[in-house]
Structure 1
Amino acid sequence: MNKVPMTVQGEAALRTELEHLKKTERPRITQAIAEAREHGDLKENAEYHAAREQQSFVEGRIMDIEDKLSHAQVIDVTRLPRTGKVLFGTTVALINTESDDTVTYRIVGDDEADVKQNLISVSSPIARALIGKEEGDVVVVRAPGGDIEYEIDEVRHV
């Protein structure tokens, strides 16, 4: 399987979540199942079924995180050469050429993306348009609502 790019912070967040699920949630759910079993008939025991559903979700999430970490290619942008080009992990300040609005995005892995925090996926249309470009370049982003033209104002390797 292909390696999936991920920032150092993204990997740390996944490892923290994995540890929490294994060390806190698993034992809590196991205890809840044991307590529900003590109440008798399992067919009509809502607490038991809810705990089993939680257990299924947590085990699925653990497997998902372990799979992502096993295929992760962790990229530390602070160790990359400062080329001035937009790369995975860089922070990019953009100016909309029509409205002069400015926006800043950091290009991260798919699992780390959060538009509300200005973290965009490396596979998003805007990131694909920006990768490899430099400060001062003008890029056209093909968006569902139409093309948007941005000028790259600043590229930071943070």
Structure 2
Amino acid sequence: MKGRNMTRWRDPAKDPRQEKKSPLITAQGYARLKGIHEHLSRVKRPALSTKVGEAAAQGDRSENADYTYNKKELNRVIARIRYLGKRLDEVQVVDRLPADTSRVYFGAYVTLEDEHGEELAIRIVGHDETDTDKHWVSVDAPLARALLGKGLDEDVTVNAPAGDTTYVITDIAYADPDA
């Protein structure tokens, strides 16, 4: 294989980008994904198809920036629709409380306190629901994995690239505390 650059090849079994995502999702997260899928399928894709058709009718497509842009956007939307359709088929909706609500499980709102006395409030959600602004953490994240099964006042150490951090669980709830 003289002359071929083999440094770009990755073993699919070891490629972190190919890691299997947790199939869990909350009922609210499922409804949100389904809404996005329907909006893209019923509103966005038809609108873009119309724009592509109108731009194509203008003639020479090779120098038609409007056609090129809308065609690329249409392809992006179609890819997103396919991904969401596949993901909606794969996910498992968790819409009931765990038997033991005194421990941290999927869907829990957890309040933590670090070594400096600072509080961090998070919710453990599915991969598709993560939201840094809301502090919604994927069940696949190291912090969530460290918390699962733990109870009130238990210490949790999270291994992070910046160093280990220890938290104490100060509250566990399964209803939105801000509601």
TM-score above 0.5, yes or no: yes
The separation in 1 between residues aligned to 2:136 and 2:130, in whole angstroms, is 5
Q: What do residues 28-74 of structure 1 show as CA deviations (whole Å, max 9, x unaligned)?
A: 10110111011111121111111110110000000010111110011
Does structure 2 retain, via aligned residues, the 8 Å contact 1:2–1:71? no
Structure 2 gaps of 5+ residues are: 1-19
2:127 alignment partner in structure 1 = 110
The separation in 2 between residues aligned to 1:28 and 1:86, in whole angstroms, is 44
The separation in 1 between residues aligned to 2:131 and 2:31, in whole angstroms, is 16
Q: 2:112 aligns with which of 90, 94, 100?
A: 94
Which portions of structure 1, spanning 4 or more consecutive aligned residues, are displaced by more than 3 angstroms? none
Q: Number of aligned residue pairs: give it.
A: 156
Offset of residue 82 of structure 1? 4.1
2:54 alignment partner in structure 1 = 35
Q: 1:83 aligns with which of 92, 98, 101?
A: 101
Q: 1:144 aligns with which of 161, 171, 174?
A: 161
Offset of residue 2 of structure 1? 8.2
Structure 1 gaps of 5+ residues are: none
Does structure 1 retain, via aligned residues, the 8 Å contact 2:21–2:127? no
2:9 alignment partner in structure 1 = none
Q: 1:16 aligns with which of 17, 35, 44?
A: 35
Q: What do residues 61-118 of structure 1 show as CA deviations (whole Å, max 9, x unaligned)?
A: 00010111110011014x333431100110100011x200001100001111112211
Percent identical among aligned pairs is 36
The separation in 1 between residues aligned to 2:148 and 2:94, in whole angstroms, is 15
SS of 1:155's equivalent in the other structure is strand
One-letter code of the match for 1:148?
Answer: T
TM-score (norm 2): 0.83
TM-score (norm 1): 0.94
SS of 1:29's equivalent in the other structure is helix
Does structure 2 retain, via aligned residues, the 8 Å contact 1:82–1:157? no
